[in-house]
């Protein structure tokens, strides 16, 4: 129970910090891949996928959300590195954060197949941005290894935090999901 305020304080501190997405250029491709998902838009989405998966899916199926997101992320990154990204990627990523916040709010009412489809779409959009930001130095493999490792850690954080958050009064979960959705809308307004 004592960890929940610490987790919420950490999330608030990250939200207050400037977004770190699209950083790491001029560094090794592995490091660039590790830090790219730490931007507010990517961080919120990836933690939200873990939270939603733990709240909406049961047993081993809880890993389906993160696994599907990572597969779509990788496919999107390949497409983005090949130049398939477009000007609407950033607004679409912001919108995906808002949608993931709404998915958290309705985690137990949203059919699993629909939720997983939305997770895949979000993963591919975030992947397009990752691929478009491939650093000049280094190769795609190191970069992909970095952003996949960071993504897995963020998903794991969401999966681990969900049971504790769900055990608290429902207002905590509603506030969290509303905060994610609102952050997505704010990011969309700035995109």
Q: Is 20 strand, coil or helix?
A: coil
DSSP secondary structure letter of residue 17: S
Phi, psi of 23 (to 5 degrees): -110, 175
Instruction: Report pLDDT for 25.
Output: 45
pLDDT tens digits along 103-159: 999 988 999 999 999 999 999 999 999 998 888 767 899 999 999 999 999 999 999
Helices (H), the chain: 3-16, 29-35, 40-56, 64-81, 89-105, 112-132, 140-167, 170-190
Q: How far apart are CA 166 and CA 163, in angstroms?
A: 5
Instruction: Report pLDDT for 27.
Output: 57
Confidence band of 167 (pLDDT split at 50, 70, 90): very high
pTM attached to this predicted model: 0.84
pLDDT tens digits along 29-88: 888 889 988 999 999 999 999 999 999 999 999 999 999 999 999 999 999 998 887 778
- Domain range summary for the chain, segments of one domain joined by +: 3-190
DSSP secondary structure letter of residue 37: G
Provide the token pair at 100.
């993931």
Quick check: 20 pLDDT over 60? no
């Amino acid at each position: 129970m004592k960890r929940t305020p610490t987790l919420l304080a950490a999330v608030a501190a990250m939200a207050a910090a400037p977004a770190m997405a699209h950083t790491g250029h001029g560094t090794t491709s592995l490091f660039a891949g590790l830090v790219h998902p730490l931007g507010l838009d990517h961080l919120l989405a990836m933690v939200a996928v873990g939270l939603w998966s733990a709240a909406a899916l049961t047993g081993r199926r809880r890993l389906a959300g993160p696994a599907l997101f990572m597969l779509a992320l990788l496919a999107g990154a390949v497409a983005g590195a090949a130049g398939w990204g477009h000007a609407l990627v950033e607004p679409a990523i912001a919108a995906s954060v808002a949608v993931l916040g709404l998915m958290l709010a309705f985690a137990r009412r949203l059919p699993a197949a629909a939720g997983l489809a939305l997770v895949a779409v979000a993963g591919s959009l975030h992947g397009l941005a990752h691929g478009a930001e491939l650093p000049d130095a280094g190769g795609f493999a190191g970069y992909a290894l970095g952003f996949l490792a960071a993504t897995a850690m963020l998903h794991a954080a969401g999966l681990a935090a969900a049971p504790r958050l769900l055990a608290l009064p429902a207002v905590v979960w509603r506030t969290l999901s509303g905060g994610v959705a609102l952050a997505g809308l704010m990011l969309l307004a700035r995109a």
